[in-house]
């Protein structure tokens, strides 16, 4: 978990940053720049050659306005396209002993549960529901036990199975606020101590979509808040690197619109049918960047450190409701993309 020195009014943007760090750490940071560059070149080749591959990039860039603009599908029906395989990605896990080299992350903790178990429970239900309720669509899990799977392997699984859509299941969590509390001293020389205060105010869903560049505002926000334990956020994938730029353009051209579309469809189901709060769609400043070959969305299904959300996320009824919303959204997406429905 990330430690952040902050004030209360910066909480909102830091929520997003926490997610950034988590993904960055488990996917990008440990890769040496040169190796990354070579990998990116291969990815680029794959993307251009239409080989199955996966790209998720997240950067701090608001999609709120763009989301509605891009949700209209005037030119998205692809002749002959069939949605055949959905990759269902349960975030995090427990790193196994003798795990292969790669990026692993245990995820956030609630008061009585943890993210990695909730994401697995939802993903297992989602896989079954997709195969039962959406004719002709196969759902492939990136992990099916509590053992974590490296991000590299998750991408491989998506690619090997020729996924058409990548849905990553996660839970959100707000970092503790760190405040200074006066503990005595004199008027001229007051004494303070630092206190960590849990912040349980986050509630509802959030959808994360690829975007490359961190906004200046977000950069400044992070610098101003002196994030501890974070060294070189974003260094591994340089937004000015021509390879990254080309990859990003390729992603934008081929997959961003549909990523925004599926995120909007799920968001609509959760808000309009389930009546839950949502923070909407957002680009994020940390890249979960793999090979670019399918639309992708990361669903923060709720805040595991919010008591009500934690109950909901752990309940059979809550998990089923989330799964059903995602399945209805995928069904609409499939109909749109295949030109067979009215949605």
Q: Which residues bind Zn ion (CB under 5 A)?
A: 91, 107, 170
Is 337 in contact with 258 (CB distance < 8 Å)? yes
Nearer Cβ to Zn ion (44/171)? 171
As measured in angstroms, the least distance from the Cβ of 258 to Zn ion is 23
Cα separation, 277 vs 274, whole angstroms: 9
As measured in angstroms, the least distance from the Cβ of 122 to Zn ion is 12
Cα separation, 25 vs 18, whole angstroms: 11
As measured in angstroms, the least distance from the Cβ of 114 to Zn ion is 10
As measured in angstroms, the least distance from the Cβ of 58 to Zn ion is 12
User: Tokens 């830091």 label which residue?
Assistant: 14
As measured in angstroms, the least distance from the Cβ of 97 to Zn ion is 22
Residues 6+ apart with CB under 8 A from 20: 58, 60, 233, 284, 285, 286
As measured in angstroms, the least distance from the Cβ of 128 to Zn ion is 22
Cα separation, 276 vs 300, whole angstroms: 13
Nearer Cβ to Zn ion (91/318)? 91
Nearer Cβ to Zn ion (91/302)? 91
Nearer Cβ to Zn ion (91/93)? 91
Nearer Cβ to Zn ion (170/203)? 170
Q: What is the dihedral of CA 102, 107, 113, 116, to 10 degrees?
A: -40
As measured in angstroms, the least distance from the Cβ of 168 to Zn ion is 8
Nearer Cβ to Zn ion (151/255)? 151
Nearer Cβ to Zn ion (170/334)? 170
Structure tokens at 114: 């943890």
Which residue number places its CB atom closest to Zn ion?
Answer: 170
Nearer Cβ to Zn ion (115/269)? 115
Cα separation, 123 vs 118, whole angstroms: 8
As measured in angstroms, the least distance from the Cβ of 92 to Zn ion is 6
């Amino acid at each position: 978990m990330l430690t952040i020195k902050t004030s209360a009014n910066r909480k909102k943007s830091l929520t997003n940053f926490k997610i950034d760090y988590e993904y960055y750490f488990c996917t990008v940071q440990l890769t040496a720049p040169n190796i990354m560059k070579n990998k990116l070149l291969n990815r680029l080749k794959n993307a251009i050659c239409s080989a199955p591959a996966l790209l998720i990039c997240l950067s701090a860039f608001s999609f709120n306005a763009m989301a509605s603009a891009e949700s209209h599908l005037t030119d998205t029906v692809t002749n002959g396209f069939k949605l055949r395989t959905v990759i269902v990605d349960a975030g995090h896990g427990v790193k196994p002993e003798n795990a292969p080299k790669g990026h692993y992350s245990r995820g956030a903790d609630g008061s009585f549960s943890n993210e990695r178990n909730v994401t697995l429970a939802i993903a297992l239900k989602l896989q079954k529901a997709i195969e039962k309720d959406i004719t002709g669509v196969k759902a492939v899990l990136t992990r099916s036990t509590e053992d974590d799977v490296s991000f590299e392997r998750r991408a491989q699984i998506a690619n090997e199975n020729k996924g058409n859509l990548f849905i990553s299941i996660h839970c959100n969590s707000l970092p503790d606020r760190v405040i200074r509390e006066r503990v005595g001293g004199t008027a001229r020389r007051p004494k303070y101590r630092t206190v960590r205060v849990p912040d349980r105010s986050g509630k509802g869903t959030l959808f994360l979509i690829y975007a490359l560049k961190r906004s200046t505002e977000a950069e400044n926000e992070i610098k101003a808040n002196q994030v501890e334990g974070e060294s070189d956020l974003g260094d591994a994938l340089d937004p000015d690197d021509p390879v990254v730029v080309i990859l990003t353009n390729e992603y934008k051209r081929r997959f961003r619109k549909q990523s925004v579309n599926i995120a909007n469809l799920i968001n609509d189901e959760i808000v309009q049918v389930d009546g839950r709060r949502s923070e909407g769609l957002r680009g994020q400043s940390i890249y979960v960047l793999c090979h670019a070959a399918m639309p992708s969305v990361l669903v923060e299904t709720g805040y595991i450190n919010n008591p009500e959300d934690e109950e909901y996320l752990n309940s059979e009824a809550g998990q089923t409701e989330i799964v059903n919303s995602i399945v209805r959204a995928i069904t609409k997406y499939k109909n749109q993309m295949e030109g067979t429905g009215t949605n």
